[in-house]
Amino acid sequence: MPQLRKQITDAVNFLRTKTQSQPAIGIILGTGLGGLVHEIQIETVIDYSEIPHFPLSTVESHKGKLIFGTLGGKKVVVMQGRFHYYEGYTMQQVTFPVRVMKFLGVNTLLISNAAGGMNPLFAKGDIMMITDHINLLGDNPLIGQNDEDLGPRFPDMSEPYSKELSHLADSVAIDLGIRLQKGVFVAVSGPNLETRAEYRFLRGIGADVVGMSTVPEAIVAVHMSMRTLGFSIVTDECFPDALKPADLDEIIKVANATEPKLTAIMKNVVSRLQ
């Protein structure tokens, strides 16, 4: 058996000693977005540190727990805290949990993140549904030998974020009276924030928001034929000609303040998922 598949099997076998839950929905919670967890009827919580081959989260604002439970009447598995490329993990490590989720039975993946807004029509505290992405991480989780049993060598990327799920999220947001922006997410490695020249460039190549996550997980979700829905919380305004110094505390504050709206959207999307 190829090594990656063996590692996935190890992790799944371990998790099966802790829970028999068969979630079809997986959720990855980004920076400052852990509050969705309070909406879950929790059945099982497992520290990442216990799971074979799971990397350890090094960022303080990420908790590092895999949570099994029920949200909006559906079985879910939730990553409270994710892994970032800038922490020094390989792309394969960053995306390993997504592969494990797939083998647990997940076919729908909801991803959230905090991002810098570059579209001048976006404001701090807006939620953007990701319609497409640009990978500027300079790396790719699919590099290396391909395991055809996991997915194709050359996955199609014409619709990395499910149109069907996006339509659902749109109607949920309308029903809840929450403004939902739409746009393109560009992923950079970080960990530094961008220069004015970089924001100008990123906006110029067609991105609406910029962040340091999500794209690796979305690529692997496509590779494994999962449907994906992604949301960014605009935590800071990155307008190159009026740029203020970034403040990480403020970014987390905005994420926390906006989170109830995103939580409401995600919970209602989950409850209406077919």
Pairing of the two strands 65-71 and 74-80? antiparallel
Nearer to ligand HPA by C-beta: 168 or 187?
A: 187
Nearer to ligand HPA by C-beta: 167 or 244?
A: 244
In the bound complex, what is the minimum distance in angstroms from residue 110's beta carbon to ligand HPA? Answer: 19
SS3 state of residue 181 = strand
Nearer to ligand HPA by C-beta: 69 or 81?
A: 81
Nearer to ligand HPA by C-beta: 109 or 193?
A: 193
- Residues 10 and 191: their CA atoms lie apart, in Å, by 31
In the bound complex, what is the minimum distance in angstroms from residue 208's beta carbon to ligand HPA? Answer: 12
Helix (H) or strand (E) holding 266: helix 248-272
* Footprint on this chain of ligand HPA (rule: CB under 6 A): 114-116, 190, 193-194, 210-212, 235-236, 238, 251
In the bound complex, what is the minimum distance in angstroms from residue 210's beta carbon to ligand HPA? Answer: 4
Closest by alpha carbon to 77, among 36, 106, 111, 34? 106
Nearer to ligand HPA by C-beta: 66 or 202?
A: 202
Exposure b/e, 150-170, CB count within 10 A at least 16 = b: bbeeebeeeebbbeebbebbe
In the bound complex, what is the minimum distance in angstroms from residue 149's beta carbon to ligand HPA? Answer: 34
- Residues 272 and 219: their CA atoms lie apart, in Å, by 25
In the bound complex, what is the minimum distance in angstroms from residue 87's beta carbon to ligand HPA? Answer: 14
Contacts of 260 (CB under 8 A, 6+ apart): 35
Q: Which residue is nearest to ligand HPA (CB)?
A: 116
